[in-house]
Amino acid sequence: MYCVHVVGARPNFMKAAPVVRALAQEPGMRQSLVHTGQHYDQNMSDVFFRELEIPEPDFNLAVGSGTHAHQTGQIMMRFEPVVEKFRPDWVLVYGDVNSTIAAALVCSKLRIRVAHVEAGLRSFDRGMPEEINRLLTDQIADLLFTPSEDGNQNLLREGVPAERIRLVGNVMIDTLVRLLPKAAASLPQGLPRQYALVTLHRPSNVDDPEMLRPILQVLDGISHELPVIFPVHPRTRQRIEQLGFRAGENLHFWEPQSYLQFLGLQQRATVVITDSGGIQEETTFLGVPCLTLRDSTERPITVTVGTNVLLGHDLERLRSEVCAILRGQTKQSATPPLWDGHAAERIANIISAG
């Protein structure tokens, strides 16, 4: 059997790594890795292959950045010859980025079977490009691997046949479990005993100066009570520089961190403030309070079961939630079912049987 994995952005790498490893244990399995180049940055791409011990890509489509239409179209045009030449038994796509829907569309036209890893997640906000990618990919994929029961219910409600849906658990947690010991060893010296860890990159938070400026002001205020470590996404850094914002001495703007470094910082954090989807999951597993600056989440299990609190853009509530956490008032949480480090093994078993 021959499987092709398509990755294009930082979160894809964490999801693909355990699946590549699990499938390698299956007799007679051949695999190739296609990197679309959707994100290409030394801190956001190459280092991930080393840390996650993923083989170098067999194909790099080198698409680069651009509008959604340009990027999606370029991926389709460059990926199609690869699929036509090698005719794999399965193409595995991950998450909800443009590479995900582009590869799925190519395969559906060529009648190549597609498996979507992390299927069924819904924010119910079609203003998010990722939501469109999720909806369309799930309609054309042949196998849908869901991380939680709500994903199954979303797909069934949308008319996806039950026989195409498999609840397998969360592959990002597989990677976290395997690398957590290394993450602890990669922490920088001199970290404060307590700190807030921040990551922001979504357009709704960083593209509008009237939104970004008050967020930074609140983070600066929080830093008077609790040091704030903010590894800044390149896009966000550009916006901060355009604002001319000057941070206080306890609001620390850092360069982007590698996966291991950031995971170690999460594990030690007093609270994480984010707008990232994957971080909502990781903090839930780690038992670290997470405050999410978004109106909706495609990962509601992190709110209903985990440590996540959705704040929308209520910055006063952000202050009050941080204060409550400092007083030891944190929400009750648990680890969702099947977030046990073995999701990729379940995927490999299903793929190899089909």
Contact 10/263 with Cβ under 8 angstroms? no
Contact 111/50 with Cβ under 8 angstroms? no
- Structure tokens given for 112: 């190549």
Q: Is 275 left (phi over 0), alpha (psi -120 to 50) or beta?
A: alpha
In the DSSP assignment, the letter for residue 257 is P
At 135, the amino acid letter reads: L
CA 13, CA 35: separation in Å to the nearest integer? Answer: 10
Task: Count CB-CB contacts under 10 A for residue 87.
Answer: 11
Q: What residues does 251 pair with on adjacent strands?
A: 228
Q: Is 284 left (phi over 0), alpha (psi -120 to 50) or beta?
A: alpha
Residues in the chain: 354
Longest CA pairwise span in the chain (Å): 60
Q: Are strands 251-254 and 228-231 parallel, antiparallel or unpaired?
A: parallel
- Structure tokens given for 75: 């991926």
CA 80, CA 184: separation in Å to the nearest integer? Answer: 41
- Structure tokens given for 31: 């695999």
Which among 68, 70, 116, 201 is annotated as catalytic? 201
- Structure tokens given for 274: 């984010």
Is residue 39 annotated as part of the catalytic site, yes or no? Answer: no
Q: Which among 128, 100, 129 has a CA at the least distance from the CA of 114?
A: 100
Annotated catalytic residues are 201
